[in-house]
Amino acid sequence: MKKTPFALWLLLANLLIAFLGIGLIIPVMPTLMNELHLTGKVVGYLVAFFAIAQLIASPLSGRWVDSIGRKKMIVMGLLMFSFSELLFAVGQTLPVLYASRIVGGVSAAFIMPAVTAFIADITTTENRAKALGYMSAAISTGFILGPGIGGFLAGLGTRVPFFFAAGLALFAAIFSLVMLREPERQHVETVNAKKPGFKRVFAPMYLIVFIVIFVLSFGLASFESIFSLFVDHKFGFTPTDIAIIITGSGIVGAIAQVVLFDWLAKRMGEKRLIFWCLVLSAVLVAAMTVVSHYFAILAVTIVVFVGFDLIRPAATSYLSKIAGNEQGFVGGMNSMFTSIGNVFGPILGGMMFDIDLDYPFYFATFVLIGGAALAFVWMRRKDVTNDPIHQPL
């Protein structure tokens, strides 16, 4: 990769650190909720504020990556992330906690496009896809390890995970400042290429897929943000218990993406795979309200994560087939609908949690059933892709 493997691995490590820190909050939130007397709605806002800040800051940061430079944006993002984790570690009031999440969201908006552009600059056309695959794996690994590390460090103190993340991010920022070199730019874009307008979102070929992506991100964000509170309040699970379940589920989901997705997509087609995963997810999210044994909860959670983890690449793969010369457009809309779901899922889930512990899962079930019904109608419609939906299994 232009003889810069060290730069690539350092970039991947930075992403791993950033997304590891994001996941730290999940297993310790019930304890913080009890310490600070927070409601479920407030917890939902804390999660949503991160997504809102990232959503708002991303368009600006994308332009700054080109004007200011990749390395500077990465270092600034890591410093901001370190500061956000430190704020959360010392915060005793809601305004400080909200500020922490907002700064954290902006830091993610700084880091992601800068790392993506950096990787594009230091790779060739032949090996770029492989490098970007490593980037996705680093993000997934961070999400998997974050709750696990957060849960185990919480045994030393509720705020210890956040001090740990702050120190790790600060080290990464300093190390990147010293060791990274600003890459040479690759100018391969068509300068005056016409960009598709926002109204293309409503094109029949795209709209259903975007709605499915929203349903997925809404359901997953609601499930993840409320899960730790749910098992804490209903079953008295410890942060370590929560960490084991979420980490184990994440690992199995990641393995399923690597081992099962390609085979299932070729065998069933993306549409059918999405439909059945939505059906399975709806059934198992509802089952969360009736299971009570630890291993039953573990099994249900693992399969729910597998279902969610197969839907996202299926939707992305399908979009890439039909997008033609609008690959950038559908990628941006994919990110936008994901962010919208990440914002509203935790908020509505938190509000319903305050009414009844089971209500967030009932509501998520209805949303997933609606998504499955929409996917069923979509599944019966022929299109221009190679999706073998009308071929017998």
- pLDDT, averaged across the chain: 76
Rounded Cα distance, 340 and 240, in Å: 30
Percent of the chain with pLDDT over 70: 79
353 and 221 in a common domain? yes
* 44 and 80 both lie in a single domain: yes
Q: Which domain-ending residue is among 188, 218, 250?
A: 188
Dihedral sign for Cα atoms in the order 47, 219, 354, 148: negative
Tell me the C-alpha distance between 22 and 101, whole Å.
Answer: 9
Residue 242 to residues 19, 86, 146, 229, Cα–Cα distance (Å): 18, 23, 12, 10
d(CA 228, CA 29): 7
Domain extent for 231 = 198-393
| Angle formed at CA 267 by CA 263 and CA 272, multiple of 5 degrees | 110
Element (H, E) at 381: none
- Give per-residue pLDDT as tens, 360-393: 888 888 888 888 888 888 877 765 444 444 343 3
Does residue 221 sit within a domain? yes
Domain endpoint, select from 188, 218, 242: 188
> Is the separation of the CB atoms in 267 and 393 below 8 Å?
yes
Mean pLDDT of 260-267: 75
CA pair distance 122, 96, nearest whole angstrom: 39
3-state secondary structure of 189: coil
Which tokens in the block code for residue 242?
């929560």
**Residue 273 within any structural domain of the chain:** yes
Q: How many CB atoms lie within 10 A of CB 37?
A: 7
The pLDDT value recorded for residue 188 is: 45
Among 119-123, 193-197, 210-214, which stretch is predicted with the lowest mean pLDDT?
Answer: 193-197
Structure-token pair, residue 182: 């600003």
**Sign of the C-alpha dihedral computed for residues 282, 257, 4 and 11 taken in this order:** positive
Task: Give alpha helix (H) positions in the chain.
Answer: 5-23, 25-36, 40-67, 70-90, 94-122, 125-153, 160-179, 204-235, 239-259, 261-268, 270-287, 294-322, 327-355, 359-379
Give whichever of 99-113, 189-203, 235-249, 296-310 has the largest mean pLDDT: 99-113
How far apart CA 362 and CA 285 sit, in angstroms, is 8
**Are 134 and 224 within one domain?**
no
**What average pLDDT does the segment 212-230 reach?**
77
pLDDT for the residue 295: 82
Return d(Cα 27, Cα 237) in angstroms, integer.
Answer: 10
Pair 123, 204 in one domain: no
**Residues contacting residue 227 through CB under 8 Å, at least 6 positions apart:** 26, 242, 246, 301
Same domain, residue pair 313 and 279: yes
Token representation of residue 297: 């909860």
Look at residue 205 and tell me whether its pLDDT is greater than 80: no
- Supply 262's token pair: 């390609």
Task: Compute the average pLDDT of residues 239-243.
Answer: 76
Residues 215, 174: one domain? no
pLDDT at 82: 94
Instruction: Specify the 3-state DSSP secondary structure of 325.
Output: coil
Predicted pLDDT of residue 126: 61
CATH number of the domain to which 251 belongs:
1.20.1250.20
Arithmetic mean of pLDDT, 298-313: 79
Taking only the tens place, the pLDDT of each residue in 74-91 is 999 999 999 999 998 888
Which tokens go with 51?
């997504």
Kindly state whether residue 286 falls inside one of the protein's structural domains: yes
One domain, residues 184 and 203: no
| Residue 193 included in any domain | no
Number of domains in the chain: 2
Residue 320 lies inside a defined structural domain of this protein: yes
Lowest mean pLDDT among 181-190, 275-284, 333-342: 181-190
Question: What are the CA-CA distances from residue 160 to residues 24, 85, 126, 206, 321 (Å)?
Answer: 10, 10, 43, 45, 46
Final residue belonging to a domain, choices 167, 188, 209: 188
Side chain identity at 274, as an amino acid letter?
Answer: I
359-372 in b/e form (b: 16+ CB < 10 A) is bbbebbbebbbebb
